[in-house]
């Protein structure tokens, strides 16, 4: 069963990466809520997308408010070094 994990309010340099390691295919990570894509988790989310681990999507909450979401793909994560 897919999970939705909200880390938008969490702080820390490795929060996104740590959360991503604990996800499975189909899980979603809400990494920012706001008018524009931003926040401290934007860069690691973009990196994970570029490496093929997540798809980045957004969900409209109101006319100027969006949830920015990283949806986990099937690609296996590399082991941390």
Q: What is the CATH number of the domain that holds 61?
A: 3.30.110
Q: Does residue 81 sit within a domain?
A: no
Threshold 0.85, pTM exceeds: yes
pLDDT digits (tens, 9 = 90+) for 56-66: 999 999 999 99
Q: Does residue 79 sit within a domain?
A: no
53 contacts: CB under 8 Å, gap ≥ 6:
20, 72, 73, 75, 77
Q: Does residue 64 sit within a domain?
A: yes
10 contacts: CB under 8 Å, gap ≥ 6:
none
Q: Does residue 52 sit within a domain?
A: yes
Cβ proximity of 56 and 67 under 8 Å: no
DSSP 67: E
Domain hosting 65: range is: 4-72
pLDDT digits (tens, 9 = 90+) for 16-50: 999 999 999 999 999 999 999 899 999 999 999 99
Q: How many structural domains does the chain have?
A: 1
């Amino acid at each position: 069963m897919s999970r939705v994990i909200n880390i938008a309010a969490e702080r820390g340099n490795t929060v996104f990466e740590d959360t991503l390691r604990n996800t499975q295919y189909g899980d979603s990570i809400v990494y920012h809520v706001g008018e524009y894509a931003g926040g401290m988790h934007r860069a690691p989310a973009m990196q994970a997308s570029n490496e093929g681990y997540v798809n980045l999507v957004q969900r409209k909450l109101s006319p100027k408010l969006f949830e920015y979401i990283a949806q986990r793909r099937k690609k296996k994560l590399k082991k941390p070094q």
